[in-house]
Amino acid sequence: MKQKSKAYVNLLLVVAFWGLTFPVQKNILEGLSPVFYNALRFSFALLLLIPIRKKLGIRLSRRSFTQGLILGLFLSGGYVFQTWGLVHTTASKSAFITALYVGLVAIIGPVVEKRIPNRYQILALAVSLVGLYFLTTPEAGFNFGDLLTTLCAISFALHVVFISYFTEREDSGEMELLVPQFVVVIIVNLILIPFVDGGVRVSGSIVTVALFSAVFATIFAVAVQLRFQRFLGSVGASLIYVGEPAFALFFAMIILREIPGKMEVIGLLLMTAGMIFGGTSLYMLRDRGVKK
């Protein structure tokens, strides 16, 4: 119970930091290559991680290298599509579309664990998709950034599911997975720089945001996921991740003065309902004695 309480508190902090990154990154991405920014952010994270690697018990084995490579590819897809999409859409919209991964986890998780998704999980995803439709109605518009962010949600869902899959064993050596993931993200984003629009430049504000994101939304966030998510499982953790778009909307309204329209509000409410219902579906079945 103590470990579960720690897991809830730490993952909630992660969600708050993630929510804050949407508006602060939106502020500095105008004219900047999003993949260059990602490479810079994760380079800072890797450099900061090296001095404390022994304290975290980070060693590299063949298993951790392979698992870290797989997680790194999913993490790369998530950040490439999210940051690139953020250039073309609003911070609050980006956060809510990204949060589709919560509903997707409820579908993909059972598949990876060789279980058929139940009707509640499928219904939850359907509600979330209807919410996405309202969020991207002609009033708001479904643009290129929204499409990229939807692909980001799929990538992050796979990342969440496979973190639980790889770290469910007590001797999994979860911290060993940090370095390979960061290295893969850096390499993938560097490779994509010539193919994604945006300038390559460095300024005080860019470095500040990259460092903040590297420390709190990258090192701290991924370390907490690897250390604590196994105590809650992918679905249990997704219940907390539901709060990410709410934090993002709150911070976007303060920092960027983003106010959602009527249709967007309907979409946001539907997506939130779908995410919560999807996350609680396994617990509903458990309480009713249904075998999953």
> Nearest to residue 237, comparing CAs of 229, 248, 245, 249?
229
The CA distance from 70 to 65, in Å, is 9
Burial class (CB in 10 A: 0-12, 13-18, 19+), 171: exposed
Any idea what the Cα angle at residue 193 is, between residues 75 and 206, rounded to 5°? Answer: 80
User: HEC string of 127-153?
Assistant: HHHHHHHHHCCCCCCCCHHHHHHHHHH
- The type of residue at 177 is L
Residue 63: CB atoms within 10 Å: 13
- pLDDT > 70? residue 4: yes
**What is the tens place of the pLDDT at every residue in 236-280?**
676 677 777 778 878 888 898 877 777 777 777 776 776 666 656
**What is the tens place of the pLDDT at every residue in 168-212?**
764 555 667 888 898 999 999 999 999 999 999 999 999 999 999
pLDDT reported for residue 290: 37
125 in Cβ contact with 58 (< 8 Å): no
State percent of the chain over pLDDT 90: 30
- pLDDT > 60? residue 284: no
3 in Cβ contact with 172 (< 8 Å): no
